[in-house]
Amino acid sequence: MKQTWWKESVIYQVYPRSFKDSNHDGIGDINGIREKLDYLADLGVDVVWLSPIYASPNEDNGYDISDYQAIMKEFGTMEDFDALLNEAHQKGLKIVMDLVVNHTSDEHQWFIESRKSKDNPYRDYYIWKEGNQDHYPNNWGSVFSGPAWQYDEATNMYYLHLFAKKQPDLNWENKAMRQSVYDMMTWWLDKGIDGFRMDVINMISKDQSFPDGEKNGGLYGNCSPYTVNGPRVHEYLKEMNKEVLSKYDILTVGETPGVSVKDAMGYTGEDEHELNMVFQFELMDIDLGQYGKWTPVPFDLCKLKAVMKKWQTGLENKGWNSLYWNNHDQPRVVSRFGNDHEYHIKSAKMLAMCLHMHQGTPYIYQGEELGMSNVRFDSIHDYKDIEILNAYKELVEDKKVLSEQEFMKGVYSHSRDNARTPMQWDDSAYAGFSEVQPWIAVNPNYTSINAKSQVNDPDSVYSFYKQLLTLRKQYKIMVYGHYEILDEENPNTYMYTRTLEQQQLLVLCNFTDQKQTVEIPNDLLKEAKVFITNDIEKPLEKIMTLNPYESVTYIL
């Protein structure tokens, strides 16, 4: 298997709006990130992925871009960004930007032009359709509730928006539009950035017949069969690779909802010349119910292990895995798959070790390294995320398919604002994120969960992550070792091995708040040393009793 820097790297995701506010307007900014580069370098990460920092009206917190080559005014200036990039490189940190080209903001100049008239040169930069007798061009629903089509008076037509109304989908069938995207990408890469995370990149090619989707009990037709992994998506990515990506030594990771291992091979296979890796969503979908994240179900560890095994064995020696529990769209993992009360610290460490011992590039989302957890605001009105607010309006107020308290249960356990509360730097007011009330309330547990109380504590979650990252740099087996699962059927523990030449790692994780007894296969009962543990060191024996949320890796 080809060895390369982006396989050996650890990537830290910064959500700039919530990371650090340097000018005390309650909103995170670029100069705030500059203040914390040493914190990131000390943690030991190699790459920093910035969620969008481009000009945006912030309908979807920057994932609705109005100018790809200007900085969002709340975040600062292009000079601030140039300084950030330079300082990051000086500290040995690479900077990866978020490429959002499935859609723009409706305030982007291209869309302002496109909606002016049917013969405007930019008309076909977007997807316009006539309505039909029962109204919309088809029955597709938006990810952010409601129909996926918006009527536009000026030309008496509808435009497609798979996300918010203010996020019109770009028309990738249009070569001139594609070239505009490639020119913009080149402009950023020529500034010296180190790669792109590509937002819903597997949705850019749509089935041009735009057929109705299956309703199967939903409110709208399911458009996924016609918008995910579409007919020309690989053609476009091969073109993007040829025109832009192949000219630079960069990291590219596609955000690809709904991909299978087979699909992922099509995007990341070394001989496909498209992307380096993708974010799969199978793991993130294991605890969603009838109305998705709004009706969550308890997670089943055997399902989690089955997904991990499928992707570890499916991509081995052919593609490459991204390893993540968290990002700005997902609830905090210690609250989701761990225990954010009695075993908060222990389970946060267990989850960190469990993830980082797999084969792939690990991603750390801001605050994960502190064990930051989900939040519970008193009222729906304390929440900011358009996805939450639109779903509340549709499911609770309009269609009344869920009661307020049913819906709030989903908000507390699975909504995106769980990940977007301000980074908890210390126990001062507003957690040291800002000196004024931030754009979204701070999680009240900042007084006990914050960086200041952890960076010098050898027993903290932060120090445990730092230890994992140090080990990754010293032991190639963590990156390249062959994965084998040992306990597929056990609903309480997760045990697997990694093997590289004569060396082996044996990973034992207890995912419960009860002691669990496990039996070690005879062929693994060799001379063993504790590689890392979140508990007291103990020798490897045939029968091991793991304490609640104990996780230990042995090197054999």
Residues acting as catalytic residues: 199, 255
* 25 vs 212 by CB, closer to Ca ion: 25
Minimum gap (Å) between residue 100 Cβ and ligand TEU: 6
Strand partners, 323: 362
Cα separation, 427 vs 34, in Å, equals 21
Distance of CA 506 to the CA centre of its chain: 28
Assess 487 for contact with ligand TEU (CB under 6 A): no
* 29 vs 60 by CB, closer to ligand TEU: 60
Minimum gap (Å) between residue 12 Cβ and ligand TEU: 16
SS3 call for 221: strand
Residue type present at position 336: R
Q: Give the x-and-dash track for 269-308 against ligand TEU (CB under 6 A).
A: ------------------------x---------------
Given candidates 6, 12, 163, 494, which one binds ligand TEU under the rule CB under 6 A? Answer: 163
The DSSP code for 19 is T
Q: Give the x-and-dash track for 408-447 against ligand TEU (CB under 6 A).
A: --------x-------------------------------
Given candidates 6, 63, 111, 196, which one binds ligand TEU under the rule CB under 6 A? Answer: 63
Q: Give the x-and-dash track for 174-203 against ligand TEU (CB under 6 A).
A: -------------------------xx---
| Count of beta carbons in the 10 Å neighbourhood of residue 179 | 12
- Nearest CA to 3 out of 270, 322, 280, 363 is that of 270
Binding-site size, ligand TEU (CB under 6 A): 14
Cα separation, 433 vs 32, in Å, equals 9
Collect all residues with Cβ–Cβ distance below 8 Å to 239 and sequence separation of at least 6. Answer: 178
What are the C-alpha distances in Å from 363 to residues 48, 253, 321, 382? 10, 11, 11, 29
* 31 vs 327 by CB, closer to ligand TEU: 327
Assess 329 for contact with ligand TEU (CB under 6 A): yes
* 279 vs 462 by CB, closer to ligand TEU: 279
Ordered alpha helix ranges (H), 150-260: 175-190, 224-227, 233-243
Assess 391 for contact with ligand TEU (CB under 6 A): no
Minimum gap (Å) between residue 105 Cβ and Ca ion: 21
Minimum gap (Å) between residue 54 Cβ and ligand TEU: 12
CB-side exposure of 413: number of CA atoms within 13 Å?
21
Residue type present at position 331: P
Q: Name the helix (H) or strand (E) containing 50.
A: strand 47-50
Are 379 and 347 in contact by the 8 Å Cβ rule? The answer is: no
Minimum gap (Å) between residue 63 Cβ and ligand TEU: 3
Given candidates 257, 338, 422, 438, which one binds ligand TEU under the rule CB under 6 A? Answer: 257
| Count of beta carbons in the 10 Å neighbourhood of residue 116 | 14
The DSSP code for 199 is T
Minimum gap (Å) between residue 341 Cβ and ligand TEU: 25
Q: Give the x-and-dash track for 85-124 against ligand TEU (CB under 6 A).
A: ---------------x------------------------
Determine the Cα angle at 327 with ends 323 and 328, to 5°. 165
Collect all residues with Cβ–Cβ distance below 8 Å to 271 and sequence separation of at least 6. Answer: none
Given candidates 369, 387, 487, 550, which one binds ligand TEU under the rule CB under 6 A? Answer: 387
* 16 vs 230 by CB, closer to Ca ion: 16
* Rg of the Cα atoms in the chain: 23
Cα separation, 349 vs 369, in Å, equals 9
Minimum gap (Å) between residue 150 Cβ and ligand TEU: 15
394 binds, among ligand TEU, Ca ion, none (CB under 5 to 8 A by kind): none
Roughly how many angstroms between the first and final C-alpha of the chain, as a whole number?
23
> What is the binding site for Ca ion (CB under 5 A)?
21, 23, 25, 27, 29
Number of residue whose CB is nearest ligand TEU: 63
- Residue ranges binding ligand TEU (CB under 6 A): 60, 63, 100, 143, 163, 199-200, 255, 257, 293, 328-329, 387, 416
